[in-house]
Amino acid sequence: MITHAHATTVALTGHLMDTGILARVLDDVLEYGGDYRIEQLDLGRQHEDESRALIQVRAEDAELLDRIVMRVQVHGANPVDPGTAITRPAPVDGVFPEDFYSTTNLDTFVRLDRDWLTVDRAEMDCGLVVEERDGRPFIRNVPVSDVRAGEAVVCGAHGVRVQMPPAVARGEEENFGFMSSAVSSEKPQALLVRQIAERMREVKAEGKRILWVGGPAVVHTGASPAMVRLVRAGYVDVLFAGNALATHDIESALFGTSLGVDLAKGSGVPHGHEHHIRAINTIRAAGSIAAAVESGILTGGVMHAMVEAGKPFVLVGSVRDDGPLPDVYTDVIEGQRAMRAQLPDVGFAIMVATMLHSIATGNILPAAVPLVSVDINPATVTKLADRGSAQAMGIITDIGLFLEQLARELAPE
């Protein structure tokens, strides 16, 4: 047994047993090479009660201790004696100080001297920059590529506190109880669809926006008409996708009937070069998707519906793209910025048939935003959860049938 000279005590509250959060905190401490002693554990006696744990975390040196504390904050554990935050200037553009505080996706608070200040937004794997606005300190969450030399960056874990979204801490979401259990294709899917529809109605009623993230299988599975109905009924406030979804959608709208590649007859999806590069060229010639709609070139499909409904979309490219469409951000960091700009007021996120853009969105979403991932491939949902999006709830199902049933609930013909 090594003696660990450095120690601090963290507190954890919530439904610790049911949710397995306590076990995960202890696991993380050991995994980082630290050790722990449970100082106190007040368990809810009944199922409804909250629990509270005090855990002494120990490590060989102060730096490691700091990193363990940052790590367990991912689960909502905060030091009992947080102290006040230390800042250091960023050495050059795009580089944090070495011991920068690395953020979680939880609501975060920083204490500079006495008061706790709320960080402007929650995003994981970023840094915290302290600046002055209107004569008062202001804390910005900043990705590493956006930090500028000399900006004051919070370092170490002192003076930082996080807060679990209440529903996650409770380990139960009233309407979404089904999802608390593990990812599975063996669930009553029709019921899940109704519950998601219900949640979407509530989110809209609260004046919040619904974010969709979609992959090209939305088109391949014949779900475009259902998706168009959802757009028109107002349930798609913003769409994140790549070049592929938009291109397949537009290709289908431009060539769907004239060339015999007839989705309506179910005769199969061509995997050809030719069609899609020609569709891309057509939109490039028009200047943009919106221009193609305006000029009457593009008259159907999901992208057309988004333009007609005046709803924003963010298309971010990838290295496998042909073209791409003129609306596509070819610089992925600029694309991430455009995605972030659409997050305010998002109250619900649904990710359909895409691994790349799902993970990208999961990376920048606050934990407080409920998130449903729908895919026929279990790996997509699992990877999303593994990346740290604990609020990701997965449904393994057929995209085509899922969207058709969801449209039936929310936008009956």
Site for a second copy in 144-183 (CB under 8 A): 144-145, 177-178, 181
Window contacting a second copy (CB under 8 A); options: 30-38, 80-88, 201-209, 304-312? 30-38
Residues between 64 and 83 that touch a second copy (CB under 8 A): 64, 67, 70-71, 74
Of the candidates 99, 236, 74, the one whose C-alpha atom is nearest the C-alpha of residue 164 is 74
Per-residue contact string for residues 377-406; x = within reach of a second copy by CB under 8 A: x-x------xxx-------xxx-xxx-xx-
* Shortest separation between residue 58's beta carbon and a second copy, angstroms: 10
The Cα–Cα gap between 397 and 205 comes to: 27
Q: Rounded to the nearest 5°, which phi and psi values hold at 378? A: -55, -30
Residues between 88 and 147 that touch a second copy (CB under 8 A): 91-92, 94-96, 98, 100, 102-104, 124-125, 143-145
C-beta separation of 362 from 349 below 8 A: no
Residues composing the chain: 413
Window contacting a second copy (CB under 8 A); options: 112-120, 272-280, 296-304, 340-348? 272-280
* Shortest separation between residue 218's beta carbon and a second copy, angstroms: 10
The Cα–Cα gap between 405 and 197 comes to: 10
Q: Does 280 bind a second copy (CB under 8 A)?
A: yes
* Shortest separation between residue 54's beta carbon and a second copy, angstroms: 11
Nearer residue to a second copy within complex by CB, 16 or 346: 16
What is the three-class DSSP state of 29? Answer: helix
C-beta separation of 268 from 292 below 8 A: no
Window contacting a second copy (CB under 8 A); options: 42-50, 161-169, 300-308, 344-352? 42-50
Residues between 293 and 332 that touch a second copy (CB under 8 A): 316-324, 326, 330-332
List CB contacts of 220: < 8 A, sequence separation 6 or more. 248, 269
Helix orientation angle between 399-410 and 224-232, rounded to the nearest 10 degrees = 30
Of the candidates 241, 244, 232, the one whose C-alpha atom is nearest the C-alpha of residue 413 is 232
Of the candidates 232, 228, 214, 238, the one whose C-alpha atom is nearest the C-alpha of residue 314 is 238
Nearer residue to a second copy within complex by CB, 137 or 388: 388
Residue 344 DSSP label: T
The Cα–Cα gap between 169 and 153 comes to: 29
Nearer residue to a second copy within complex by CB, 91 or 234: 91
Nearer residue to a second copy within complex by CB, 114 or 273: 273
* Shortest separation between residue 260's beta carbon and a second copy, angstroms: 3
* Shortest separation between residue 146's beta carbon and a second copy, angstroms: 11
* Shortest separation between residue 333's beta carbon and a second copy, angstroms: 5
Window contacting a second copy (CB under 8 A); options: 29-37, 106-114, 291-299, 343-351? 29-37
* Shortest separation between residue 134's beta carbon and a second copy, angstroms: 30
The Cα–Cα gap between 354 and 392 comes to: 14
Nearer residue to a second copy within complex by CB, 133 or 201: 201
C-beta separation of 83 from 77 below 8 A: no
The Cα–Cα gap between 61 and 210 comes to: 45
Nearer residue to a second copy within complex by CB, 60 or 308: 60
Looking at 80, 84, 116, 281, which residue binds a second copy (CB under 8 A)?
Answer: 281
Looking at 119, 142, 154, 192, which residue binds a second copy (CB under 8 A)?
Answer: 192
The Cα–Cα gap between 259 and 261 comes to: 6
Q: Does 212 bind a second copy (CB under 8 A)?
A: no
Residue 358 DSSP label: H
